[in-house]
Each structure stands twice: as structure tokens, then as C-alpha cells.
């Protein structure tokens, strides 16, 4: 009897050791694979970040991250269902499990992390708050807006940052809050406010929505540092690692010179060990997360590395023409870097 039990458990041990690896359970990842698509929460419509074009296709830097994750998990960047969310809707939609991932130019803050039950998985855009004003008012810096009315979206970090910034300097501004970014912009455009405030990246996209974009200027001085990145729920650590390392992988690919064009070639011929691990030629990195080893190869081939994604959505390949600025690799004077694929 005892012997049988011993033999039985020994067999069980062997069996589990034989199967390649046991993974921490990940209900989110299992659910995505079962349903066959990724549920991604995006912005209602912010050119450059998440914007549905005239064919109804979502484009933008944040959308590209959704696509890259879908390519990494499911092998197909188009297997994403987008849920547009307002500033207020984004939290409940993530908390309730309606979306697997929120990629919606959301600033990483302490209180959000500590009290909303959400985790931030790295930084895909270094944003900083500034203002768009009419050229005719001749304001050069945020402090010149003393006495102005400022339109902003309710519940954004910008609402609070602007109030704090002017209060600290004893300048009086009137902050008028709207439920959606678009409402705030429309109100600014119709003359209700002297300025609209948001991040410089968001403003670059939103300025396009104004009636005469050339009559307006975005101030250079930033009043805050608002790093933004993908958000997930507490609790599913393996899923969080998938999102974090897909973003890291896109940045690593740019640093290593891997692009959507040369990825296959690199995988076959590169002698660089990190590139080989990144693209699944060795190391079996995908399997460690419960994905195929081609995970990053798929993501890079279908979406591109971070730089390709940036240039297509925000940079010189887009109507926004936003320079890389802080969103350049650290080796080229920016702030982007990734831990090694080792």
C-alpha cells in the first residue's frame, strides 16, 4: 500500500518534470486564447494614440501596443477588439474585466496604482502637460495665462495639475471641466476658454481637430511629467509580464536594429545572442510565459519596433510630425530603455 503510494507520487513528479514547464495560472491569458481575440481599452479618439480612421480601422501608438500584444499572444495583430473609453469610463471597464488591457494614454500615478487595483506595465510615452492657446493672445509660457479660462477634461491628471500649478504661484485661472476631451476642445475652439490643457503629445493630435489649427500654438514649457503606459488589473502576474515584455520587446527591437522588414532575416542569420533570444531562435523565451517562441517575431513583423510604430503614428510619417524628444532611445538622448532579454 505504502509502496504503491510512493510509486504513484514518484510517477506524478516525473510526469510533471517531463512536461516542459509548469506555469503560474493566468486566467486572463487563458481567456484571451479561448475567445480568440484581445479586448483592449483605448481612447475615444485621439489622433496619434488611438484614433479610428475613415475606414473604421484603429490606428495610433497605444493601438499599436494592443496589436503587438495580440500578435504575441495569438499570432495575429488584427485579433483585437477595441473598446473606446472616456476619461471616467476607463477604470471601471478595466476593473470589471471587460477589457484585458487598457492602452489609453493614461498617466502612471501613485494613487491610481495604490487605490484603483491597477498596475502599470512600463512607459510607452513620456508625456508632459502644456497648453494650446490662440496665437493672438500672445502668451509664451504657462505663467502668462494669469486670469485665463482653461478648458480641461474632468478627472484627468491635467485638471488637478493645472489647479495645483496656478494655486502654488498665486495666479488666478478659471478651470472649466468637461466630461470628454472632445467637449473641452470644442468649447475651447468656440471661444469659451483661452486655453485647453493636455499633454504635448495629445495636444499635437488634438490641434488637428480645431477649425483653423494654424491660429493656435502649443506652449513649449511643460508644467508636469506624465509618463504613460499600458494598464492591467491586480493579480494576474503572468499576464502582466506578457504585456510588460511585449512593450520592452518593441523597444529592445529598435535598440538592436530589428525592424518589421528584417526580422525574419535577423532570426535566421543574426549572431547577436540577445536578438536570437528576442526573436525565438534560441532560449525558448516565449514558452516561459506560455506563448509561442515566435511571440516577439510576430509582434515585430506585424506591428514593427517602437521606433517604426512611433514614426508611423506620431512622428514624421504621420500628420502630427511630433519629434521623438524624450521618447527616443536613451542611447540617442531620450529616456527610453529596456531591461535586457537575458
Partner 1 sequence: MMTRWLNDKTIRGYIWQAAVLIGLVVMLVFFVRNASENMVKAGIASGFNFLWRSSGIDVPFDLTGYSPSDTIFALFWAGVVNTLFVSALAIVLATALGFLIGLARLSSHWLLSSIAGAYVEFVRNIPLLFFVIFWYFGVIASLPQPKDSVSLLNLFFLNNRGLTVPRPIDGAPFLWAWLAIIAFAFLQWGVSRFAAARRARTGTSFPSGLLALVTLGLAPVFALIAASFWTGWDVPVAGKFNLRGGTVLIPEFVALLAALVTYSAGFIAEIVRGGLLAVSRGQREAALALGLTQGQTLWLVVIPQAMRVIIPPMTSQYLNILKNSSFGAAIAYPELVSVFMGSALNNTGQAIEIIAMVLAVYLFFGLIVSFAMNVFNSRMALVTR
Contact (Cβ atoms closer than 8 angstroms) between residue 238 and residue 246: no
The CA-based dihedral angle spanning residues 156, 306, 303, 238, taken in that order and rounded to the nearest 10 degrees: -70
Q: Tell me which of 4, 19, 22, 115 binds partner 1, using CB under 8 A.
A: 115
Closest CB 190 distance from partner 1, rounded Å: 5
User: Could you tell me whether strands 195-199 and 129-134 are parallel, antiparallel, or unpaired per DSSP bridges?
Assistant: antiparallel
Using the rule CB under 8 A, is 192 a contact of partner 1? yes
Q: Which is nearer to partner 1, 97 or 284 (CB)?
A: 97
Closest CB 281 distance from partner 1, rounded Å: 38
Q: Tell me which of 31, 44, 52, 154 binds partner 1, using CB under 8 A.
A: 154
What gap in Å lies between CA 208 and CA 47, rounded to an integer?
8
Using the rule CB under 8 A, is 233 a contact of partner 1? yes
Using the rule CB under 8 A, is 147 a contact of partner 1? yes
Q: Hunting for cell 531620450 — which residue is that?
A: 334
* Total length of the chain: 342
What gap in Å lies between CA 290 and CA 33, rounded to an integer?
11
Stretch that binds partner 1, among 174-182, 262-270, 280-288, 325-333 (CB under 8 A): 174-182
Closest CB 89 distance from partner 1, rounded Å: 10
Q: Tell me which of 178, 200, 245, 285 binds partner 1, using CB under 8 A.
A: 178
Using the rule CB under 8 A, is 177 a contact of partner 1? yes
Give the contacts of 122 (CB within 8 A, at least 6 positions apart): 229, 230, 244, 247, 248
Q: Tell me which of 4, 191, 331, 342 binds partner 1, using CB under 8 A.
A: 191
Stretch that binds partner 1, among 71-79, 172-180, 245-253, 317-325 (CB under 8 A): 172-180
Q: Which is nearer to partner 1, 78 or 190 (CB)?
A: 190
Q: Hunting for cell 489647479 — which residue is that?
A: 163
Give the contacts of 30 (CB within 8 A, at least 6 positions apart): none
What gap in Å lies between CA 271 and CA 257, rounded to an integer?
13
Distance from chain centroid for Cα 21? 30
Using the rule CB under 8 A, is 117 a contact of partner 1? yes
Q: Hunting for cell 470628454 — which residue is that?
A: 180
The 8-class DSSP code of residue 110 comes to H
What gap in Å lies between CA 190 and CA 31, rounded to an integer?
46
Q: Which is nearer to partner 1, 72 or 132 (CB)?
A: 132
Contact (Cβ atoms closer than 8 angstroms) between residue 61 and residue 310: yes
Stretch that binds partner 1, among 2-10, 148-156, 274-282, 308-316 (CB under 8 A): 148-156
Using the rule CB under 8 A, is 148 a contact of partner 1? yes
Stretch that binds partner 1, among 32-40, 72-80, 181-189, 256-264 (CB under 8 A): 181-189
Contact (Cβ atoms closer than 8 angstroms) between residue 239 and residue 29: yes
Using the rule CB under 8 A, is 95 a contact of partner 1? yes
Q: Which is nearer to partner 1, 176 or 293 (CB)?
A: 176
What gap in Å lies between CA 100 and CA 203, rounded to an integer?
27
Q: What are the residues binding partner 1 (CB under 8 A)?
A: 87-88, 91-92, 95, 111-112, 114-118, 137, 145-149, 151, 154-156, 159-160, 162-164, 167, 172-179, 183-184, 187, 190-192, 194, 233-235
Amino acid at each position: 500500500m505504502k509502496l504503491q503510494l510512493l510509486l504513484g507520487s514518484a510517477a506524478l513528479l516525473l510526469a510533471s518534470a517531463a512536461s516542459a514547464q509548469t506555469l503560474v495560472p493566468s486566467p486572463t491569458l487563458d481567456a484571451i486564447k479561448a475567445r480568440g481575440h484581445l479586448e483592449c481599452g483605448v481612447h475615444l479618439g485621439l489622433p496619434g494614440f488611438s484614433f479610428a480612421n475613415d475606414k473604421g480601422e484603429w490606428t495610433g501608438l497605444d493601438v499599436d501596443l494592443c496589436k503587438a500584444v495580440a500578435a504575441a499572444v495569438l499570432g495575429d495583430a488584427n485579433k483585437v477588439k477595441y473598446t473606446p473609453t472616456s476619461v471616467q469610463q476607463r477604470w471601471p471597464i478595466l476593473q470589471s474585466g471587460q477589457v484585458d488591457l487598457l492602452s489609453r494614454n493614461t498617466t502612471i500615478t501613485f494613487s491610481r496604482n495604490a487605490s484603483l487595483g491597477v498596475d502599470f506595465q512600463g512607459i510607452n510615452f513620456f508625456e508632459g502637460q502644456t497648453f494650446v492657446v490662440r496665437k493672438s493672445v500672445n502668451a509664451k509660457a504657462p505663467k502668462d495665462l494669469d486670469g485665463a479660462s482653461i478648458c480641461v477634461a474632468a478627472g484627468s491628471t491635467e485638471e488637478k495639475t493645472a489647479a495645483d500649478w496656478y494655486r502654488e504661484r498665486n495666479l488666478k485661472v478659471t478651470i472649466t471641466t468637461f466630461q470628454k476631451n472632445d467637449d473641452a476642445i470644442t468649447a475651447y475652439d468656440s471661444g469659451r476658454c483661452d486655453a485647453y490643457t493636455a499633454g504635448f503629445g495629445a495636444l499635437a493630435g488634438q490641434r488637428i481637430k480645431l477649425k483653423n489649427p494654424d491660429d493656435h500654438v502649443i506652449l513649449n514649457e511643460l508644467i508636469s511629467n506624465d509618463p504613460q503606459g499600458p494598464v492591467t488589473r491586480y493579480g494576474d502576474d503572468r499576464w502582466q509580464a506578457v504585456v510588460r515584455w511585449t512593450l520592452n520587446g518593441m523597444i529592445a527591437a529598435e535598440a538592436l536594429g530589428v525592424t518589421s522588414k528584417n526580422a525574419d532575416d535577423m532570426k535566421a542569420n543574426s549572431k547577436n545572442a540577445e536578438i536570437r533570444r528576442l526573436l525565438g531562435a534560441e532560449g525558448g523565451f516565449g514558452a516561459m510565459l506560455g506563448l509561442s517562441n515566435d511571440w516577439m517575431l510576430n509582434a515585430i513583423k506585424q506591428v514593427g519596433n517602437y521606433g517604426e510604430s512611433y514614426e508611423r503614428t506620431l512622428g514624421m510619417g504621420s500628420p502630427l510630425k511630433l519629434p521623438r524628444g524624450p521618447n527616443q532611445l536613451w542611447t540617442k538622448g531620450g529616456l527610453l530603455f529596456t531591461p535586457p532579454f537575458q
